[in-house]
């Protein structure tokens, strides 16, 4: 079996190549200092009250030490480690892409806890920076930067799934407010969010991509009901959200009314950006831990399982190479590349869950539903990886129709 050490292949660019054009000794020296600064700060601060948070949280485990991880996020913010790539005007460091990669990778290597504010920092914040008004930036960016307001994403619906263009949740102007009616589903962390960015149909009679708007909606109001969805793992970080004449101010639409599809696609592009490299280091740690388990149990002696470990290691390097290549290529088709990235990592991670079960063998089939071990939980939750954030079917349709120019899939 190949070693699955997350450090293999060099630093944050794999072999020392720059993730940005130009490079040079001065840039390399700056990046080395930045990497050391991040590493030293994490080592010093993941201690004391935060020591026990290492490795906690993340998809399928968002319930773990939530309040403590929220305090950690605010500690990061106070030290200037949130929103690194943002302009200094809005509290960021204007960090280069390479430095942002370094931070995410060092964060993952330190086994720091999963962030609870990632929807705001990685999705809503960049969207408002790119498309929002000055007033919207002034109102919302400080809360994201300081982790004083948490966000959730109102995209998927029961009748539309990952097909965002098929949504039916509607919003109509009523004086100086939007009145919103409908339902969203699979809404991660809606039960703890203060705000939701909601894609709703604001032009009556419109279909598909036309007539959608991107609204910023406060969650704490009588017109919104949140119902947790119990998952296979027994946890419930996903939710149904019902809007019954929910209200938000008329000026809390990002972009122009009717331009919601373009804004929503911009958000999805941000979702599959730099932080995926940190995600891959967490994947590498999981792979290494499963490999260690296989060696202890003797499962590693099975040539078929050994072959699966080799393939998993190669697949992880492919994920890394693809992420770095797309960040380097400023002319890349964002929609197509984002869909390829989602397909690659979702299928790889689901395969890792299946590999974990193969290593466990028959013992992996025995469990109390309220006391799953980490590998059983991984297997069950990674079934969702190919669904949330845009299902495999939708991603393949995006690639085939918008990138390859193939005929649209027949829809009833």
Tokens encoding 167: 């949504």
Crossing angle of helices 275-297/97-109, nearest 10°? Answer: 30
Residue (of 214, 174, 165, 219) closest to 192 by Cα position: 219
Q: Which one, of 258, 143, 150, 269, lies nearest residue 206 by Cα?
A: 258
- The per-residue pLDDT for 271 is 63
State the chain's mean pLDDT as an integer.
85
Per-residue pLDDT of 337-394, as tens digits, reads 778 888 888 999 999 999 999 999 998 888 776 678 888 888 888 888 887 777 788 7
- Check pLDDT > 80 for residue 333: no
Write out pLDDT tens, residues 239-260: 899 999 999 999 999 999 998 9
- Given a contact cutoff of 8 angstroms between Cβ atoms, the answer to whether 336 and 404 are in contact is no
Categorize the per-residue pLDDT at 43 as very low, low, confident or very high, splitting at 50, 70 and 90: very high
Are 219 and 196 a contacting pair, CB within 8 Å? yes
Mean pLDDT of 135-147: 97
Start-to-end CA distance of the chain, whole Å, equals 48
Among the listed residues 250, 264, 191, 176, the one whose alpha carbon sits nearest the alpha carbon of residue 217: 250
The pTM of the whole model exceeds 0.85: no
Contact 247/177 with Cβ under 8 angstroms? yes
- The candidate with the shortest Cα–Cα distance to 319, out of 298, 333, 340, 293, is 340
User: Is 271 part of the annotated catalytic residue set?
Assistant: yes
Please check whether residue 190 is in contact with residue 151, taking contact to mean a CB–CB distance below 8 angstroms: no
Polymer length of the chain: 412
Instruction: Please give the structure tokens belonging to residue 77.
Output: 């913010």
**Residue bearing the bigger pLDDT, 236 or 212:** 212
What token pair was written down for 286?
């999981």
pLDDT at 197 > cutoff 80: yes
Helices and strands in the chain, H and E counts:
12, 8
DSSP assigned state of 309: H
Tokens standing for residue 141: 């960016």
Query: What phi and psi, each to the nearest 5 degrees, are found at residue 305?
Result: -70, -40
In terms of pLDDT, which residue wins out, 358 or 410?
Answer: 358
Q: How far apart are CA 219 and CA 242, in angstroms?
A: 11
CA distance linking residue 189 with residue 260, whole number of Å: 22
Q: Which of 62, 271, 286, 291 is catalytic?
A: 271
Q: For helices 334-360 and 303-328, what crossing angle results, to 10°?
A: 160
């Amino acid at each position: 079996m190949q070693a699955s050490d997350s450090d293999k292949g060099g630093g944050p660019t794999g072999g020392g190549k720059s993730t940005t054009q130009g490079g040079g000794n001065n840039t390399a020296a700056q990046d080395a200092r930045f990497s050391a600064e991040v590493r030293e700060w994490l080592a010093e601060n993941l201690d004391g009250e935060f020591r026990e948070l290492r490795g906690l949280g993340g998809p399928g485990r968002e319930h773990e030490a939530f309040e403590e991880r929220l305090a950690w996020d605010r500690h990061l913010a106070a030290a200037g480690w949130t929103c690194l790539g943002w302009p200094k005007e809005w509290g960021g460091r204007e960090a280069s892409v390479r430095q942002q990669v370094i931070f995410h990778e060092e964060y993952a290597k330190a086994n720091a806890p999963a962030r609870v504010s990632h929807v705001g920092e990685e999705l809503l914040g960049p969207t408002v920076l790119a498309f929002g008004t000055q007033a919207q930036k002034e109102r919302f960016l400080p809360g994201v930067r300081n982790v004083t307001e948490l966000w959730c994403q109102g995209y998927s619906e029961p009748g539309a799934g990952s097909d965002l263009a098929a949504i039916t949740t509607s919003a109509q102007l009523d004086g100086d407010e939007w009145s919103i009616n409908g339902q969203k589903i699979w809404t991660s962390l809606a039960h703890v969010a203060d705000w939701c960015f909601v894609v709703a149909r604001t032009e009556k009679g419109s279909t598909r991509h036309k007539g959608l708007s991107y609204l910023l909606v406060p969650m704490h109001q009588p017109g919104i009901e949140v119902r947790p969805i119990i998952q296979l793992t027994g946890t419930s970080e996903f939710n149904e959200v019902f809007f019954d004449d929910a209200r938000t101010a008329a000026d809390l639409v990002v972009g122009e009314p009717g331009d919601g599809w373009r804004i929503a696609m911009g958000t999805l592009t941000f979702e599959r950006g730099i932080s995926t490299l940190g995600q891959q280091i967490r994947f590498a740690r999981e792979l290494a831990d499963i490999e260690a388990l296989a060696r202890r149990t003797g499962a590693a002696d099975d040539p078929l399982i050994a072959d699966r470990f080799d393939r998993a290691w190669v697949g992880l390097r492919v994920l890394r190479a693809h992420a770095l290549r797309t960040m380097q290529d400023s002319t890349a088709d964002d929609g197509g590349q984002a869909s390829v990235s989602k397909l690659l990592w979702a299928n790889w991670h689901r395969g890792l869950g299946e590999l974990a079960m193969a290593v466990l063998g028959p013992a992996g089939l025995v469990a109390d539903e309220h006391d799953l071990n980490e590998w059983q939980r991984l297997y069950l939750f990674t079934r969702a990886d190919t669904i949330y954030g845009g299902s495999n079917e939708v991603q393949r349709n995006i690639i085939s129709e918008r990138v390859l120019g193939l005929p649209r899939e027949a829809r009833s």
